[in-house]
Amino acid sequence: MIKETKIYQVLARIKRNVRLIIYPKPKAQYTYREFCKMLTKTKGTFFKYDEIDYHKTQRFPFELSDSFVRNKKVCFLRHDIDHDPFIALKMAKIEAEYKLFGSYYMLTTDTDIKKIWDKKRVKSLKALKEIQDLGHEVGFHYDLLGDYLETGKDVGRICEQTLAEFRAAGIKVSGCVAHGSGRLSTYLSEKKIKDYPRECLNFNIWEESNEKPGMVELNNRKVNIPFLKLTDYGMRYEAYKVRRNYYHSDNGYVFWQHGDPIETINDKMDEGEVTCILVHPYVWRKNMG
Ligand SMILES: [Zn+2]
């Protein structure tokens, strides 16, 4: 049985690589280093999420305190490390050269990353600490709902254990951001649920980012979605739920989703508004500069 799974995995990897040779992933028209240079020439003020004080308003679970946004075009450089912390470290070094500092969130579960994380845990934590030492923030990128639906395990404990490992390595985690879980989409489609229910978005597991506990129907069975409190885990924000007026991402190797971030900062943003630029370090691995 194990042998069969292994053969299947090897075949799947070969298939993926062949597909990548025939249809290579697109690259941005500039390197990441050039992108950093462009960002430094804008009028944006770059913050890390952990530098800001937040409060809840009717519209936003995490509104920024006025002193941070007044007379500024507030920009966040958010990095979702879905794959490889070592590529993220390269990116963090380039940004630091340009005095750009942002927030890096590390995923430790979900299909691809679990293999890297389990095999290279000590080295990975060292790379993350190095990212922090360069002046960036390091936080938790999580798929706790995927963990829960796949294994039925107590995700509060998983969260606690992961954060304990981060903190034991000297990483000061004060916030997190949800992973758009591939595993969760696959799981739900296997259950013949086509539309991703709102309750199955990872960030809805936090009391601070949601009004009430969620429930989802799977195979005619009602399943309660875990409902946790950020503060119980020493965290004070969920970056997904922080107010943003503009959002650009390199998701799916598109440069960029929702238009060009440089244009947004220069021409569209008003002072007091917030832009989040989401980058996936892995997407730039062949175009770092
Ligand atoms: Zn992710």
Which region among 42-46, 217-221, 265-269 has the lowest average model confidence (pLDDT)? 217-221
Which pLDDT tens digit goes with each residue over 63-106?
999 999 999 999 999 999 988 999 999 999 999 999 999 999 99
Q: How many whole angstroms separate alpha carbon 35 and alpha carbon 278?
A: 13
pTM over 0.85? The answer is: yes
Ligand 1 centroid to Cα of residue 182, in Å, is 9
Q: How far is the CA of 100 from the centre of ligand 1 (A)?
A: 22
The Å distance, Cα 204 to ligand 1 centre, comes to 15
Residue 22 inside a domain? The answer is: no
- pLDDT tier, 2 (very low <50, low <70, confident <90, very high otherwise): very low
Residue 38 has pLDDT above 90, yes or no: yes
Residues facing 106 on adjacent strands? 81, 140
Region 160-175: mean pLDDT is 97
192-226: per-residue pLDDT in tens? 777 677 777 889 899 998 778 888 877 778 888 89
**CA of residue 213 to ligand 1 center, whole Å:** 23
Kindly give the distance from the C-alpha atom of residue 83 to the centroid of ligand 1, in angstroms, as a whole number. 9
Q: Is residue 269 part of a domain?
A: yes
Range of the domain at 85: 30-284
Structurally, the chain folds into a number of domains equal to: 1
**CA of residue 98 to ligand 1 center, whole Å:** 25
22 pLDDT higher than 60: yes
- Interval between CA 168 and ligand 1 midpoint (Å): 23
**289 falls within a domain:** no
| DSSP assigned state of 228 | B
The enclosing domain of 99 has a CATH number of 3.20.20
